[in-house]
Amino acid sequence: MSDNHKSAGGVPTTGHVWDDDLADLVNQPPKWWMLGLTASAIWVVVYWLMYPAVPVALNGNYFKGVGLPGSGQWTAIKELEADQKEVDAVRSKYENKLKDMTPAAILADSELTEYVTRSGKVLFSDNCAACHGQNGAGTIQKGGKFAMREQGYMAPMLNDDDWLFGGTIDKIHETVSGGRQGVMTAHKDTLSGQQIDDVAKWVLASSEGNGNAPEFAAGKKVFASSDCASCHGADGKGMQAMGSANLTDKIWRFDGSLEGIKQTITYGVNVGPDARNAVMPNFTEAGKLTPAEIKKLAVYVYKLGGGKADAAVAAK
């Protein structure tokens, strides 16, 4: 049967016939089509060699694929560098401007502020959020191992408009670059338990706006006559120069419950093992952040929701 590759209707057959008349025709595809197929098959190999798929180690260099002639040897690091260059090209426009600007000047430029708050958000997450919480929402520590010592905020919430050391852009910048450490003396030896109880009740009442109510008169008297007023001010509104808290608002640096207030008064802040711990590190000395990054953070924190307009700037 092999000698009988006769054509049926002009088409050559393979010589196989089933069921009497079912023949297997040999219809050659067009030549251009076959050439295309062959060329594609060759291209697959060439492409596979050029594409960064095959790991190559030559003369101590590691790379992938042979690449196009003149395109160099592909590595993931090189690609990353190229990508970073692209990003840097976009950023450099702003970054160059930032270098010589004060944080206040940055705030005056809305487009720059938008850029800075965006890159500031990343910096904040990396460097600040551990204590201040994501987006400056504060980190509340309740219960657990440190229940007695550090109940309340681990670090102040930054979205509100209550500032221990001042909420103008320059003050915030000062805080980020130089760090802060508030101090409150312990009163376990200077005040009696009853006095601490009275003054704590008065502090709680003044935050509710009831500081002048007669039932809290005893506490008010303790506040005025002991060393409380010398730091928190006669009106209890605090002094930003030394970082003493405003006791008449509803925002609490530490635990705002009666127990928590009493604990703060008894053991103080930053004055011993039982005292509340409240230290903002010095980020300039830490050397981790550049001056430009600190500026960005200052603007970011200012824009979180509680930044105070500078009285001097506002006056202009």
Partner 1 sequence: MSNPATGTESGHVTGLYREHEEWTVNTGGKTIHAKRMPGFFRTMKYFTALTWLVFFLGAYPRWHGKQAILFDVTNRQFHFFNITILPQDIWMLSLLLLLMAMTLFAVTSVASRVFCGYFCFQTVWTDVFTWIEEKIEGQPGQRRKLDGAPWSVTKVRLKLMKHAAWLAISVLTGISFSIWFVDAFDYWHDLLTLNLPVIGWATLVAFILGTYILAGFLREQTCFWLCPYARIQGVMTDAQTILPTYDENRGEPRGKLRRHEEGAAKQGDCIDCFQCVQVCPTGVDIRQGQQLGCITCGLCLDACDSVMDKIGRPRGLIRYASLDEMEGRPVKKLYQHPRTFVYIGIILLALSGIIYGLTHLGALVLRVAPERQPLFVRMSDGSIQNKYVFKVLNKTNKDMYVTVKAEDGISGQQIIGAEQPILVYHGRATPFTIFVKAPEKNIHEEITPIEFRVEGVDHPEISSEYQTMFNGPKP
- Which residue lies nearer to partner 1 by CB, 1 or 58? 1
The one-letter amino acid code at 172 reads I
Residue 30-49 contact track with partner 1, rule CB under 8 A, x = bound: x-------------------
Choose the stretch contacting partner 1; rule: CB under 8 A; options: 88-96, 172-180, 188-196, 245-253: 245-253
Tokens (6 digits) for 154: 């681990």
Is 305 a binding residue for partner 1 by CB under 8 A? The answer is yes
Is 20 a binding residue for partner 1 by CB under 8 A? The answer is yes
Helices (DSSP H) in the chain: which residue ranges? 31-50, 76-99, 103-108, 110-127, 129-132, 169-178, 193-207, 217-225, 228-232, 258-267, 283-286, 291-302, 311-315
Reduced to 3 states (helix: H, G, I; strand: E, B; else coil), residue 140 is strand
Contact 187, 196 (CB under 8 A): yes
Give, as one character, the DSSP assignment of residue 224: H
Question: Strand pairing partners for 18?
Answer: 22
Shortest Cβ distance from residue 190 to partner 1 (Å)?
29
* Total number of residues that touch partner 1 (CB under 8 A): 38
Overall size of the chain counted in residues: 316
Is 139 a binding residue for partner 1 by CB under 8 A? The answer is no
Is 314 a binding residue for partner 1 by CB under 8 A? The answer is no
Is 303 a binding residue for partner 1 by CB under 8 A? The answer is yes
- Please give the Cα distance from 111 to 99 (Å, whole number): 16
| Residue of 26, 44, 53, 137 that binds partner 1 (CB under 8 A) | 137
Is 6 a binding residue for partner 1 by CB under 8 A? The answer is yes
Is 249 a binding residue for partner 1 by CB under 8 A? The answer is yes
Shortest Cβ distance from residue 11 to partner 1 (Å)?
6
- Please give the Cα distance from 204 to 258 (Å, whole number): 7
Residue 119 to residues 155, 299, 310, Cα–Cα distance (Å): 22, 11, 24
Choose the stretch contacting partner 1; rule: CB under 8 A; options: 23-31, 87-95, 226-234, 294-302: 23-31
CA angle 36, 38, 40 (to 5 degrees): 65
Residue 105-124 contact track with partner 1, rule CB under 8 A, x = bound: -----x---x--x-------
Residues that bind partner 1 (CB under 8 A): 1, 4, 6, 8-11, 13, 15-17, 20-21, 23, 25, 27, 30, 110, 114, 117, 133-135, 137-138, 157, 159-162, 246, 249-251, 303-306
